[in-house]
Amino acid sequence: MNRKVSVAPMMDCTDRHERYFLRLISKNTLLYTEMIVDEAISRGDKKKLLEFNISEKPVALQLGGSSPKLLAEASKIGEDFGYDEINLNLGCPSRKVEKNKFGACLMKEPKLVAECLEKMQSATKLPVTIKTRIGYDDVEDYENFYNFISTIRSTGVKTFIIHARKAMLGKFTPKQNLNIPPLKYDYAYKLKKDFPDDEIIINGGITSIKEIKGHLDKTNGVMIGRAAYHTPYFLAEIEKEIFKNNDVLSRQQVIEKLIPYIKEETKKGTRLNQIMRHTLGLFHGQTGAGFWKRYLSENMCVRDADIKKIDHIMDKIQYKNLEARVG
């Protein structure tokens, strides 16, 4: 599994439509699902929750939960659906998540986390990984973080995705937790030195190729979050500069390739806005980007958007010369 660059699991963002869209831009970036709760998989519509387009691969399933039994069952189901990796969420800091005992609050219970991971690994042949913060509330010293990771390592897990901020449980909103706690990249760097044989992926506030290259000198991989969602064509730059692949579609070609997918999905009942909302940032930094966002917002990112308008979208791109600078 190539984890040199990946796109973070993001609630209400990295659904199957977003992943299909991003895969058109980047062939090599590893993609993650939104967090899916183990109990939802156990009791809910598994096909609706887990089905994805084969074109999205490689794609990892991120699970949320704290029941060893349910997480093990969900891991096996994820394997059966064709995912390439199972990831346990130990980093989400929202009040709802804490109330239901999953996410970052589990950093308080390393033995329970270890039990969950042991059961998950026994249930699937896929690699089981974790995504975690570096601490929580006032517990933010490196020694505590080191001990937490050491407990997890004892289960056989070898890949650790480190969001290099602590989580403020019940004190900040999820948005505040993405911005207010300071980034401490040195924790991930030190972890790599302490566990040189393990795979350490760094995450948090990374927005440029220069930053990615700098982190890759000290860790095994970089996970991109909001930058990938708000400026998705950043992945084309990553494809060229990091993966050394120049066979990249232009922005216009991405939309051309997306249209057949849109038509097929809308026949199944998917609404146009559920797909097109993910493309708002495609022309970021290009001439006419404001027109693109405005046109989508008014015509394709509304609940009752008319699918017939998709047939004219290429005319809109060409008319406004949106891609004056391809790259």
Report d(CA 311, CA 285) in Å as an integer: 25
* Eight-state DSSP code of residue 225: -
Going by the DSSP 8-state scheme, the letter that residue 286 receives in this structure is S
Encode burial over 305-317: b for 16+ CB neighbours within 10 A, e otherwise: beeeebeebeebb
Instruction: In whole angstroms, give the CA distance from residue 62 to residue 86.
Output: 6
Alpha-carbon distances of 153 from 57, 140, 224, 257, rounded to whole Å: 27, 19, 24, 42
Cβ atoms of 305 and 271 within 8 Å: the answer is: yes
Active site residues: 92
Query: Which residues in 138-157 are b (16+ Cβ under 10 Å) and which e?
Result: eebeeeebeebbeebbebeb
In whole angstroms, give the CA distance from residue 21 to residue 16. 9
Q: How far apart are CA 164 and CA 185, in angstroms?
A: 5
